[in-house]
Amino acid sequence: MHSENIAAYVGLDVHKETLAVAIAAPERLGEVRYYGTINNEAQAVRRLFQKLQ
């Protein structure tokens, strides 16, 4: 495992046309938040991760 700081964990529930997104805090008992759904397309995933930076 790398020795870098983790800002958050991102979970993706993959479906044919959409991705459901959840974001979890890095702490063991950290908060988990439902972000929403995005289209299952490369450009939508890129936009998501740009927003999360």
Contacts of 24 (CB under 8 A, 6+ apart): 8, 9, 10, 11, 30, 31, 32, 33
What are 15-43's pLDDT values in tens digits?
999 999 999 998 888 899 999 999 999 99
Pairing type for strands 9-14 and 32-39 reads unpaired
40 phi and psi angles, rounded to 5 deg: -85, 70
Helix or strand or coil: residue 11?
Answer: strand
pTM: 0.79
The predicted structure's pLDDT at residue 1: 52
Confidence band (pLDDT; 50, 70, 90) for 53?
Answer: confident
Helix or strand or coil: residue 44?
Answer: helix
